[in-house]
A and B are shown apart, each in its own frame.
Chain A
C-alpha cells in the first residue's frame, strides 16, 4: 500500500497546498466583502444615513417636547424656531414631532414590506423554478396578472375596506403586491441552481425536493435576497407615501411622510417647511437605501458588475 500512503500525504505534502495559507484567505473572506463595501463611499453614506434615520425615527419623539397630535395653540404656522424645531402647522401641531412620527410609520412599513415580500418572492420563485411544469405555469401566470394591474391601483381600490382597520392590513396589501418581479428573478436563479451539480447530487442521494429547496437553493440566493429586500424597502416606502399622499394609505389621525407631504404641497411657497421637511426626509431615506443596496450588491455579488468581473478574470488567469 505504498501508493496509498504517498497519495494520502499528497495534498498536505507541499506547503502551498496545505491549509495554512488558505485558511488565512478564508478568514479574510468576510473582510473582503466589508472592504469592497467600504470602498464605495456612496454605500457607506447610505448605510450611515439609514441607520441614523431609523434611530431618529424612534428616538426623536422621545426627545421632542411635543407630541405629534398635540397642538400648541399659541403657535400657528410658525417657521422653525427653538421652541418648534421644524415649525408648526396651521392648527399648531409640532412639525418635528409629526415628521418623526411619519418617519417612524413609513420606515416601519417599509421594513416590514421588504422582509415579507422578499420571503414570499423567495418561496414562490423557488417553487416555480424547482418544480417547473404546471406549478411554474400557474405561479407565473399569477405573477403576470399582478404585473398587469399596477399595485397602486389595487390598493387604492381596496382602500375603503381598510379605513379604520389596523395599518398592518395596509402592510399586508403592500407586501402582497410587491413580490412579483423578485419572484421572477428568483425563479430564473432557481432554474440555474437546479442544474448545479450539488443540487443534482442531493437529488441522487435521495434528498426530498422541499429539503433541497431550503437547504441548497434558498441559502445560495441569500445575497440576492438580502440585496433585494433592501431595495424593496425603498420601493415600499415610495408606494406607501404615494398612497398615503392621496389618502389611500395611512389614515388620520395617524400620520406618515406621505400624508404630511400631501398637506404641505399646497403651501410649498407660503409655508415651505411644511413641504420641504417631510419631503426631504423621504428623499434622503430612499436615496440612502438605494445607495446602500447598490453597494451591497457590489460587495456581496461582485460578478454582477462587469468591471469587477474583468478584474477577477485577469486575477484568475494570473493566480
Chain B
C-alpha cells in the first residue's frame, strides 16, 4: 500500500479515538405527502479497525445515514447534526473538499453491483481512476493501471491482467462487486462503508464477497460499517451491532451480547423471524405484524409500539431513549428488563404456535398419490449475443434432463443459485406446452398429449404464486376482480364467485372489506397473501411457488411462510417450492432437490440433505448460508467455492461441478480422470441420491 501512503497530502494528525463519530444525525427529504424524516437523531461511532453492523428493514434509514456520511445525498435532503471523521467535521464541507476525502479516507461499496460501474469504461480504467484522482502528478497512468491489476488480483479475480481490460457487462454480478470493492480499497482508506454489499448476490457468491471484504479489512486495517437487513450476514463478521427502526437506533451492543440477549422486542422479533438452517425440529417463525410507520407524521411514543406484542399504555406517550442495559449494550425500550426475564424466546413473547401435522403426513410417501411427475425434462434455448444486435450463436440447455415427483401433501423444495435452471423448470411445468424432450404428468395426466380443454382442466389443479408481490397483481384491478379472474376463466357463475371471494380472503387472513380495494393499497406481505388467495380460488391440488417470500422483509416473510404451512395442512395441498434461500426451504419443505447447471445434483428428504449432504456443491451451498448466531458462525468451517458459475452454454465436460469442486481439487491425479470424463449419475441408497463419483456425507451446518 505504499502508493497510497504517498498520496497523503500533508501529515494527518493521528487522533486517538473513533474513526467516525456520528452525533444526533437528522436527515429529511421533501415528498408529495410532506417532509419525510428518514433519520431522526442517530448517534454512533466506529473505532479504528472495528466492524460495525447496521441492521434494519427497508425504510429504517440505514442507507440514508451512510450516504449522509459520504455527502452523497441528493441536493433536496436536509441534514443536521454532526459527522466527525478522525475529529474533522464533515457536515457543511463543500463538494471539492469532500471529494478529497471520498475514495481516499472513506470509501463505499454499494448494493447493486450491476449498475454501480459505468458501462462505457473498462473495469481496469475505473479502478485506476480512483488512484489517479487522488494521486494527481504523483501516480503515472502506467502505475495506476498496474496497481489496478494488482487490486483485481487481490479481490480474487482470476487472470486479472486480462480481465482489467473487460467492460463491466462482461463481468458477473459477483465479479462486479469485487471490482467495486477493489475501487473502495484502492487508496487504503480508514473507513469502508458497505451498503448491503451482498444482497443482490447468490449465497455462495455472498460468501466469497464477505471473504473479500474480510481480506480487504486485514490488508487496509480500515474500520468497516456494513449495512444489511440480514442478521445472519453480520453475525460472524461484525464486532458490534446496531439495530435501526424508523430512522433511529433501537439497540446497539457487541454481537456476542445482542444476539443471545436482545433487549428490545424488535430485535427479538427479527431474530425469531429468521428460519434457521441449524434448527433441528420444526420451530414456528415469529412474524412481526404490521409495517414500519410512515416517517412523515410519526405519532408520539415508541415507533415500534403499534407492532409490539409487549406494548403498554406508557409506550405511546414518549419515545424511549437509548439506555444502557448492560455494559456496552443499549436498548430503547421501557420494558427491556422484562425481556431479560423471558430468556429471549421470541415465540413466547410474540405468541406463535406450531402448526400441527396433517393426517396425510402419517401415510408413507410411496402410498400417496403422485401429484406431479417430471421425467428427463430438457429445455434448450437458442443462445443470442448482444442486447441490440441480437444474433444466435448456439444453444443453452437450461434444463438438462431432470426428474422428480411430488406426492399428495408434500412440499418439494427446488433450490439452486441463479442460472441453475430452476425457473425454466417451473415455466416448463406451468406452460403445459409441447416439451422438447422428457415428460411431465400432472395428477397422472401427461401434458404433451393434451388438447385445449384437457389443458385448461389441468390448469385448475395446478396454480402458481409468484415472487414479486408488486408485479403479480394487475394494479388496475380491484382485489375482487383479481380473485375472480381464474374463476371466470373456468366458467364459475357470478353467484359462485361472489360467494367464493370472501371465503378466500378469510382463508389468507385478510378482511372481507378489502375486496374492493386496489393492490397499491396493500403492503408487500398482504399482496403476497392476495396472490396466494388467487392461487387457491380454483381449489387446486398443487401450488407452484416461485420464490414466494424472497422479495419480502424477514419479519413479513415469516407471516407468509406460516400461512403457507397452515394452508397446506388445512387443505391438503402439495407445493413445488422454488427458492434460493435454503433456510426457508429447510423450514417449509419435506423433500429438497438441489440444481446445478440444469441438473439435479442431490435430492432427498430435508433431514438427509441438510443433515448429511453428500454432494460437494450442496455442502458448499449449505456452508455458505450464514446462521444468525455469532458463536456458531465463528466456529463454522466455511467452504468457499472458487470462481463463478460456468456458462450454461458450454458446461464443463464430465462432472459439471469439477471446475469449482474442492473435493476434485484435493483428489489424487489418478482419481480425477473419472470426474473429468464421466458425468456422474444421480444415485444412492433409497430416497437420498447424489450425483457425485466420490459422494460422502459431511455435516456442514
Contact = CB atoms under 8 A, between A and B. Distances in A.
Q: In the complex, A touching B, CB below 8 Å?
A: yes
Interface of A: 2-4, 6-17, 19, 21-23, 25-26, 29, 32, 35-36, 196-198, 200-202, 204-207, 215-216, 219-220, 222, 310-312, 314-319
Contact of B517 (A19, A35, A200): A19
Interface in B524-580: 525-526, 529, 531, 534, 538, 559, 562-563, 566, 570
24 contacts: A3-B284, A3-B562, A4-B566, A6-B352, A7-B287, A10-B509, A11-B511, A11-B526, A14-B307, A19-B514, A23-B521, A26-B521, A197-B471, A201-B534, A204-B463, A205-B463, A205-B486, A206-B486, A220-B476, A314-B29, A314-B36, A315-B29, A315-B32, A318-B64
Nearest to A39: B32
A74 to B, nearest CB: 61
A199 to B, nearest CB: 8
A216 B475 CA distance: 9
Contacts of B566: 3-4, 7
Chain A residues touching B, majority SS: helix
A226 to B, nearest CB: 13
Contacts of B522: 22
Interface residues of B, number: 77
Nearest to B513: A19
B285 to A, nearest CB: 11
Contacts of B467: 197
Interface stretch (B55-63, B149-157, B587-595, B623-631): B55-63
B295 interface: yes
Given A7-B509, A316-B59, A318-B29, A17 B523 contact: yes
Contacts of B525: 11
Contacts of B490: 205-206
Nearest to A198: B474
Given A197-B471, A205-B486, A206-B489, A16 B290 contact: yes
B352 A310 contact: no
Given A216-B474, A314-B77, A319 B489 contact: no
B111 to A, nearest CB: 11
Pairs A-B, 8 closest by C-beta atoms: A318-B38, A14-B290, A197-B466, A17-B290, A197-B472, A205-B486, A8-B509, A198-B474
B256 interface: no
Given A206-B490, A314-B38, A220 B293 contact: no
Interface string B277-293: 00000001001011111
Given A14-B307, A15-B306, A317-B63, A4 B466 contact: no
Interface string B36-73: 11100000000000000000001101011000000001
A240 B74 CA distance: 45
B517 A11 contact: no
Given A25-B521, A220-B474, A6 B353 contact: yes
B36 A198 contact: no
Nearest to A202: B485
Contacts of B529: 11
A23 B522 CA distance: 10
B444 to A, nearest CB: 20
Contact of B559 (A7, A16, A310): A7
Contacts of B77: 314
Nearest to B535: A201
Interface string B474-509: 111000000001100110000000000000001001
A213 to B, nearest CB: 13
Contacts of B486: 205-206
Nearest to B465: A201
A318 B523 CA distance: 15
A314 B37 CA distance: 10
Contacts of A312: 31
Interface in B402-458: 430-431, 455-456
Contacts of A200: 464, 466
A36 B526 CA distance: 28
Nearest to B468: A197
A200 B534 CA distance: 13
A202 B293 CA distance: 34
Contacts of A29: 520
B74 A204 contact: no
Contacts of A12: 511
B306 A14 contact: yes
A36 B31 CA distance: 11
A11 B509 contact: yes
B113 interface: no
B475 A220 contact: yes
Contacts of A316: 58-59
B464 A4 contact: no
Contacts of B472: 197-198, 201
B694 interface: no
A318 B464 contact: no
Given A3-B566, A317-B63, A11 B38 contact: no
B473 interface: yes
Contacts of A32: 32
A77 B520 CA distance: 62
A217 to B, nearest CB: 10
Contacts of B306: 14-16
Contacts of B91: none
Contacts of B287: 7, 10
Nearest to A208: B489
Contacts of B58: 316-317
B32 A205 contact: no
A13 B290 contact: yes
A6 B459 contact: no
B294 interface: yes
Given A26-B517, A204-B459, A315-B36, 11 more contacts: A15-B306, A21-B294, A23-B517, A205-B463, A205-B538, A206-B489, A215-B474, A219-B474, A316-B58, A317-B59, A319-B292
Contacts of B473: 198
B355 interface: yes
B351 interface: yes
B647 interface: no
A12 B31 CA distance: 27
A255 to B, nearest CB: 43
Given A2-B353, A13-B289, A205-B459, A314 B64 contact: yes
Nearest to B509: A8
Most interface-central of A4, A19, A220 (chain B CB within 10 A): A4
